[in-house]
Structure 1
Amino acid sequence: MGPARRLLGLGLCLVLGARPPPGLASTMELCSGCGEGAVCFNSTHCTCPPGLRPLGPQAVFDSPTEACDDINECTEQPPPMCPGNRECHNTRGSYTCTCISGYREPPPGQGSDCLDVDECREAAAGRCRPHGFCVNRPGGFACACRPGYAKSSRDPLRLCTDDTPPPLPPELCPQGQEPCAVTETLARLYGELEGGLEPRRFLQALVAVLDGALGLAALGAAGDVVGRHREATALLAATEELVRRAAARLPETTVTVTSANGTELRLAVRRAPPRSPLRLQDPEVQLEVPGEVAADGDTGWALAALLSQRALGRVLEGAAGVRWEGWERLGPPGGRGRPTYRVLSPVASAFVARARPPRRGDVTLRFAHPPPDPRRGGRLLCAFWHPERQRWATDGCRLVATASGPPGSTCACDHLTSFAVLLAFYEPEDWGLDVVTKVGLSLSLLCLLLAIVTFLFCRALQGLRTTIHLHLCATLFVAYALFLLGIERTADRTACAVVAGLLHFSFLAAFCWMGLEGLHLYLLLVRVFAPSALRRWHLLLAGYGLPALVVAASAAAFPQGYGTERHCWLSLDRGFRWSFQAPVCVIIAVNAVIFVITIWKLVQKFSDVNPDMGHLRRMRVLTVTAVAQLCLLGTTWALGLLQLGPRSLPLSYLFSLLNCAQGLFILALHCLAHPQVRDAYRAWLCPGAKRYAEFSSSGSTFSSRVPRQESGM
């Protein structure tokens, strides 16, 4: 084959190999022109050169209007490496590494690393006078103040005046305890900053204080709601001022400080008024501040700071209702309800170079948060923490519609403080349901107490199954008593968390004993032999050990999950309620299957043992047996999973009636239904009729007198 044929074959291969991908429109026109920034890919299609990306979804396109946009290599992950005191600057189609602020290019022959500018010898020496002197630092300089002088908050860049250190609000301390450990720690930290502590290390220490025993963790456990909000507001104000003063000592840079407990502080510092918005982003919050808002008009430096704290939302719980003008338009479902709210997003604090910046543009925040529960209904609100009123408000903030994307909301506000996304809704209220619940639980407590005494002292009921019934009644008694006395004791946060933990354990233990009842019943009816393998210590270990393990693991994983704003129960945050619902659902499902098998086996038993039993009598025995087992196996609790919003109010009544009367059912069907127990009660109440000794005697005396009952129990 000659050279011409080889060249022709190579050209055909190139053309065929560069044909557009499947799905692209085919055209016979030549590549006569491409959009802005695009180049020819082949005879019919265009593409973007390196450093640019197409605006559309296709890498190869045939539209002459499709343009290419620049790729900002400096913001890509991972960013380009710029060694030697350099930072990345984007250019169209590429990027360059230039010296950061405070450094200059080295002279020829002196290496490639940028050299520090000695501001004290060039232009900055006079700025520290007359009460300070200039100290050169890598990338900048600092003014060391003479004794009796300090850096001024009115000019946080360099000047030394007779200004005082930043005031620490007395509200940081509990009333009557000024000064306290928090103020002393913050004052010591600021003194170290004035003494030359590197600003980044100061910020790291400040974040550690916020996360430590003196910061938000301690406030979150405080019982006094008003005092907690007052101290949290003062701590936020002090933190903002301290961060602002530390940032004034930084060169032009971006700083990120994180802690193990989830607090994140991000700063963007500019030494000249920025021409474009300053943007900061953490995994859950994005902040965009206009340049004219971030800049200090007097000194020219600019700051944008974003402080996000996981504990802050919990600290600010319990505040008065949200100040919002749309409550009347929202309206309660069914005409009854109490206006309330729930914090959906993290709480983020944003601040700039000036404590009171000019209103020259909206600050935009994008929050990532789970979608609201559709059962609640309600409205999403962009809210801020009002430092004077110490409550959530919506003045000056609005929700911005965004394109589809990850769950979250975008807020635009014309001022700066602490922000969050709230779900405002009406919580249905029904005083009748509350009365039914409290009366039913009170009656059930009395019946459970009588049942416990009966199971303890009536020898006619002794046995392994009686042990299960006894501990089931005991755990239900403790759970119901805690529910009545402590479910609404939310004023003391620590006590509320303890009550929630005890309720978690008590109800889990009750369901474990219900599960053991189902297991015992399965061994009796399905395996058709006495469960001799089960010992009393086996039951105690399973009935109390498993709930203790679940509660311990839950408390270790998310200790803030115990106690909410309105009830001393499990929080809905981070799916914490499933630490209770998951094991309960498993036990209910298993016991429901055992219940069906029990009824089926009993029907077979009646047909085989006594085929002449009348149909009506057989149905009566089966009904009594079914009700007796339902109250022990806990399957009626499944109704709680079907309550889906305000329209399920009748179901809520049924759920409360059945489960609040569980103690009554146990006493009636598993104590009073036994003739031996009734005779024992008569002997105890009427000593003349029978001797009291028979109450604790064996059941053989009763069984010799009382005819055998045909019962499924």
Structure 2
Amino acid sequence: MSYCSLSLLLGSLFIIGTLSYPAGSCDGYTALDEPRRNYLFTSSSIPGYPINTDVQRTNIWSESETPTTGYACGNVGGCCNYYVDIQVIYCSSGGFYVYKQVNNHPINYMGYVTYHRNCVAGSCGPLAECSTTKNGGCECVSGYKIPPTHLPTNESYGCQDINECAETANLCGPHSNCTNLPGAYNCSCLEGFAPSDPALALNPSRNPCTDVNECVEIEKVCGGFGVCTNTPGNYTCTCYKGYKPDGPFNCQDIDECADTPGLCGLHSVCTNAPGTFHCSCVEGYFSSTGVLWETDVTVCDSVDDIIASIVPPEGQSKEMYFLYQMNQQLRENPDIVLSEGSVTNSLSTALKVSGVGGISAQQASTGQVWSGAGKDGGESGSVVLKISELLVNALVDPSQGQVNKTIQTPELDISLQVIEANSTDTSSLSARGNTMDINLQALARNNNGTASAVFLTVSGMESLLGASFLQTENHTEMLSDVITATLPKINHTQLSEPVNFTMHHKRRLAEPGLMTCVYWKDRGVEYGNGTEGKMRHWSVDGCWVVFSDENYTVCSCSHLSTFALIMQTGETVSEDNPFLEWVNRMCVIVGLVFFALAILTFLLCSWNPKINNTARLHLCLCLFLSHLLLLLDYTYITHKLVCSIMAGLLHFLVVASFLWMLLEALQLYLLVQRLSRIQVIQRDGLQKKYLYLIGYGIPLVIVGVSAAVKQDGYGGTKVCWLKPEQYFTWAVLGPVCTVLALNWILFCVTIWSLRPTLANMKSDVSQSKDTRLIIFKILAQFVILGCTWVLGFFQSTMVFKYLFIVLNSQQGTFLYIVHCLFNKEVRDEYRKWLGCSSSSSTPDSMKGAPSVSEDLDKAGK
């Protein structure tokens, strides 16, 4: 049955609150929580709306919570509105409203309906949530909505994703991509674009996408061999000259030498290099334009033809003119960079022309063989050295950064190193077995973080710069290659520490002579105009030998010159001085006599128990034996085994002698200290067991360790002594220097302790005699304690040689006079032995002469 008539009546809604209903009015009602019953769902455009679900609640009210007009749609084939009076009650216990007709509805089966008011998660379903602003109704979560054609079901409220990217044009701004996500969207910049501030999120208005300048942002974006041009969202690369494209954003080198055969012409070598190529001439030919190659201009001419065509100035050879011209061209172009081929060809040509690199066919045929070796005062060698320095400097390309390069030819060996800031490379360069150790890091700190060094060895240079250029009267021999060290293309060349050179000998030395580290010194030469220098020679200034053996020598130099640094060795010409030898032998023999007298006196005479002669006795024994062995040393030089044994025994005796000198100085100091404290002396000196342990134990250990470390370290060809190899002589120099230093200190402290006594001596005649005697004993004690051995370090003058021989050979003489002859008890013993009267045998000056202990005892009083 259908009702097609429409009645629209307005009336007043009588709203009756919960208190207007009788008790129990909400009984029998159940809160419904299906999503379709939510009161906010009002999509009446869905076909078939409303839906019949309950017999007594067939329709859904479309009123709000407090309706002013009530109407209902009946499912009768059409929508007919009927005026109804509605009362509503809120059932708080269930959280729902009950709508009740006041008057009878024209359609009696249309009753009332309910919808839920209290919102819980289960009432909204997935992708929906309870609204906090719409009276408890459900609403879709952010990014979702209910489409017009969708109807909630009992399971879902019907929320679907909002495609913001499709609904809002240019949502993310220009040069961007919008990507829809479930419940959200994401913005990203197109390739080649980025947010203005990469640290912040993309925002169309505050942080939009802007173009990325790849040419600035990306290092070597074109591979390092092209020019980058930025475009909106992209960039392009244009290859450098000498490179070709290899893909859209890379460039590769063009091998001109392979692409164009014969590019450099006849008698030449083409060498490909990154972005370019280099031409150089083959052996025996040289560039027509000198050291600089000009493309399409330079040709390679025969060196012989070049020399033959030269018309030199008067007084100058063709070869020297050629060398000066090459040097001049290099000096006029200090910043040029030459290829390895050009450097080796130019230097080989210079060596050949100078006579080092061989004789040309034309020179041989015409008989015009020129050699500057020693005939031109070293001029040719100086020019070649300068050329070689300038050529190796031209190998350094400041734009290349850090470089380690080695170039080797039959005549040359070049080692080049360039370091940059914070480099950890060890600055050690090697050339033909020779090495150079230099602190390039320190130089780099003074040169904007960059430093370079070149180490060069040229074979045959000694033919131009021979050992004869060393100003000495000795016989000389060039024992190493001539080497050159330089610091190319840096401003501050001041060395922070010496440079060490290790140079291998050209032959193994059986007997090393005087090794001398020298460098080529050239003054007054004006290259380019043929002016001869006045000073060209090997010099030792600023260079010294650090270590040497039969195979190599280590030299240390405080400077790097522009010339060669070489090692020179030679045997010193013996300066025989028969008189000096005779004086030495006579003094030693006299000293041995007095040593023997002192030894016999210490052993056979009766001594005061207070006096301890142990140190003096063994000092005499050691010095006596060592002096005796030195006299007999030359006799056994040809017997290798006997000579080695004598050298070891002599080593032991010398060290022991100095240690007994130290013990004697120590006992003298202790005696003076006791007297100054006015102590009763029972017996002076240390106990014998300590004296023997120090006097012989330490030398035994030193000799034992030395022999174990270097078994063949004893012997020689001139004297039976320690071989001067690998610092072996320090096995004796170390103890000797230590004892000398200590004895000087002890002697000075002892004299200082006696100064009050010496200052208060009376001036009468008797006391003056005592004073002179005490002064003599002090001076004699200075010799006895070995303090005069320091003269051995000053043997450059003849006076010191004589003083050293006389004083040190007479230690026994002074020891005998002071400790034996001046001792009254000893003199009495002598009288008994000789059977002579006191008056006839003893001079007046010797009567009553006190011993050293008596002198000190008197001084103490």
TM-score range, shorter chain: 0.3 to 0.5
Rg (Cα) greater in structure: 2
TM-score (norm: length of structure 2): 0.36
Q: Which has the higher contact order (CA 8 A, sep 6+)?
A: 1
Q: Structure 1 length normalisation: TM-score?
A: 0.43
